């Protein structure tokens, strides 16, 4: 739950930076990969929380 919240806040921050990039206040080639990485991190953490890792033994 905590990493999901952090991921959503990070997505919001990177989305704001991307809007600034679209207004040509920041380089767009810098803000777009940040937004992609934030979305990727959040989806990864949401999908791999409780996976079966096999039997010990």
| 14-57: pLDDT as tens digits | 999 999 999 999 999 999 999 999 999 999 988 877 777 788 86
Q: What's the pTM value of the predicted model, to 2 decimals?
A: 0.80
pLDDT at 2: 83
DSSP states of 7-56: HHHHHHHHHHHHHHHHTTSS-HHHHHHHHHHHHHHHHHHHHSSS------
């Amino acid at each position: 739950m905590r990493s999901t919240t952090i991921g959503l806040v990070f997505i919001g921050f990177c989305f704001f930076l991307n809007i600034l990039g679209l207004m040509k206040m920041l380089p767009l080639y810098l803000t777009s990969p940040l937004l992609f990485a934030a979305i990727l991190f959040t989806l990864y953490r949401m999908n791999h929380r409780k996976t079966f890792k096999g039997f010990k033994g």
